[in-house]
């Protein structure tokens, strides 16, 4: 039995994670979920959105299924954490958001985000099948920002050879296992000559050891234009953290929206699975959010832990429900609620 730490999250998080967990269990996966309190409720009750119990649970399970968590815009908001490290020493750190805190503390250095068309879901493009690798640990997301004076703010962008090589190697190995053979490195090295220049050069050098994979590169602005005109010409994309965050949402829009885009944050001994979308406060609690991105994130989790039969069964049941169209949420072209879509998938699994 695989032990999984569950973070339900904020906004639509509890609705979509509940859906994903029910479906995972209905598919007969050998997993047991331990839910930990994190996010807004934990902040109110414990004074931090990530109490030490979250890290204690993850230290045991090594695998996390996470719903989206809220981060206020602007201001001085920080996520303060206190926890014991592997040697039992108390560490205190702070981060700009919960997702960043977890990714950094758990060493989850890459975010893998597959984005593709699904039969039955209307979208602007057909034949999109992108695999996005987002560097997850540095860039402008290190959260080193400050006001120099009342009218001037500064942020520091960090790119290292080590992190760039690690994510490039991961992407190339991952592509090799899936039989994918075209990688586009995305950057802005014409302006950010040192930081993005180092990312591009390191990725290109790393790729020399993978002669079967065709490597090319694009400046981020040109990539965005090409993606919204001919997305089917791209296979896999490797991006620094900030561009990866933005391009993931753009790519989700190419195939039908954020309700369809799953993600996996992977490190050397731990992994966390979460949808690309956020807490969607505009639709939270209304039973209209698409659970699909969260379900597909759970499918990635099942493949990661080796529960491939359950993963295949869920994908097949979801595909059937999408093709039939009558039990899907409105962003997927239907009129059903989150609950009804979940029940329909469970019914297919039990049929």
The DSSP bridge partners found for residue 322 are none
Residue 122: closest CA among 28, 309, 18, 253: 253
How many CA atoms lie within 13 Å of 104's alpha carbon, on the beta-carbon side? 20
Nearest CB to ligand NAD, comparing residues 189 and 289: 289
According to DSSP, residue 32 is labeled E
Residue 117 beta carbon to ligand NAD: minimum distance, rounded to whole angstroms: 17
Smallest separation (angstroms) from ligand NAD to the CB of 330: 8
The CA-based dihedral angle spanning residues 91, 95, 98, 101, taken in that order and rounded to the nearest 10 degrees: -50
Instruction: Output 274 or 307, the one with its CB closest to ligand NAD.
Output: 274
Q: Does 342 bind ligand NAD (CB under 6 A)?
A: no
* Beta-bridge mates of residue 35: 6
- Report the nearest approach of ligand NAD to the CB of residue 193 (Å): 30
Q: Is 290 in the site for ligand NAD (CB under 6 A)?
A: yes
Is position 20 an interface residue for ligand NAD (rule: CB under 6 A)?
Answer: no
Binding to ligand NAD (CB under 6 A): which residues in 69-108?
A: 69-71, 99
CB 119 to ligand NAD: min, Å: 19
CB 120 within 8 A of CB 318: no
Separation of alpha carbons 336 and 48, rounded Å: 36
Stretch that binds ligand NAD, among 24-32, 184-192, 193-201, 286-294 (CB under 6 A): 286-294
Minimum Å gap between C-beta 277 and ligand NAD is: 3
**Nearest one of 222, 277, 284 to 252, comparing CA atoms:** 277
Choose which of 38, 64, 101, 293 interacts with ligand NAD (CB under 6 A).
293
C-alpha to C-alpha distance for 288 and 328, rounded to whole angstroms? 10
Q: Which residue stretch of 44-52, 56-64, 273-281, 307-315 sits at the interface with ligand NAD (rule: CB under 6 A)?
A: 273-281
* Among candidate residues 187, 118, 123, the one with its CA nearest the CA of residue 159: 187
CB-count exposure of residue 269 (10 Å: 0-12, 13-18, 19+):
exposed
Q: Which is nearer to ligand NAD, 167 or 293 (CB)?
A: 293
Q: What angle do CA 195, 200, 202 make, to 5 degrees?
A: 95
Distance CA 56, CA 136 (A): 22
In the complex, which residue's CB is closest to ligand NAD?
A: 278
How far apart are alpha carbons 283 and 333 in whole angstroms? 16
Using the rule CB under 6 A, give the single segment among 174-182, 191-199, 233-241, 280-288 that binds ligand NAD.
Answer: 280-288
> What's the closest the beta carbon of residue 125 comes to ligand NAD, in angstroms?
19
* 289 lies in the binding site for ligand NAD (CB under 6 A): yes
Return the residue of 49, 51, 244, 259 that touches ligand NAD, per CB under 6 A: 259
| 68 lies in the binding site for ligand NAD (CB under 6 A) | yes
Q: Which of 226, 315, 331, 347 binds ligand NAD (CB under 6 A)?
A: 331
Q: How far apart are CA 131 and CA 113, in angstroms?
A: 6
Site residues (vs ligand NAD, CB under 6 A): 12, 16, 68-71, 99, 258-259, 274, 277-283, 289-290, 293, 331
């Amino acid at each position: 039995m695989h032990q999984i730490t569950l973070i339900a999250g904020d906004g639509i998080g509890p609705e979509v994670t509940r859906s994903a967990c029910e479906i995972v269990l209905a598919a007969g996966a050998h997993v047991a979920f331990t839910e930990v309190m994190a996010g807004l409720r934990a902040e109110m009750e414990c004074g931090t959105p990530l109490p030490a119990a979250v890290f204690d649970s993850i230290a045991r399970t090594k695998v996390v299924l996470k719903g989206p968590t809220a981060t206020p815009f602007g201001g001085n908001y920080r996520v303060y954490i206190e926890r014991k490290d592997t040697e039992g020493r108390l560490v205190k750190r702070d981060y700009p958001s919960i997702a960043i805190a977890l990714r950094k503390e758990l060493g989850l250095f890459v975010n893998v985000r597959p984005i593709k068309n699904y039969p039955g879901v209307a979208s602007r493009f057909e034949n999109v099948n992108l695999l996005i690798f987002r560097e997850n640990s540095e860039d402008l997301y290190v959260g080193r920002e400050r006001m120099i004076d009342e009218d001037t703010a500064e942020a520091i962008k960090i790119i290292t050879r080590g992190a760039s090589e690690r994510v490039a190697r991961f992407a190339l190995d991952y592509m090799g296992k899936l039989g994918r053979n075209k990688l586009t490195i995305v950057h802005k090295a014409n302006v950010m000559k040192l930081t993005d220049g180092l990312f591009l050069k390191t990725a290109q050098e790393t790729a020399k050891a993978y002669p079967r994979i065709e490597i090319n590169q694009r400046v981020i602005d040109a990539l965005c234009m090409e993606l919204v005109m001919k997305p089917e010409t791209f296979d896999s994309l490797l991006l620094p953290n900030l561009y990866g965050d933005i391009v993931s949402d753009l790519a989700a829009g190419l195939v039908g929206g954020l309700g369809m885009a799953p993600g996996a944050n992977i490190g050397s001994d731990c992994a966390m699975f979460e949808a690309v979308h956020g807490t969607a406060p505009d639709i939270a609690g209304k039973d209209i959010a698409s659970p699909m991105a969260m379900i597909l994130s759970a499918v990635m989790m099942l493949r990661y832990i080796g529960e491939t039969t359950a993963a295949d069964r869920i994908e097949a049941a979801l595909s059937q429900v999408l093709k039939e169209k009558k039990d899907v949420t409105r962003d997927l072209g239907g009129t059903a609620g989150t609950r009804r879509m979940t029940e329909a998938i469970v019914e297919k699994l039990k049929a």
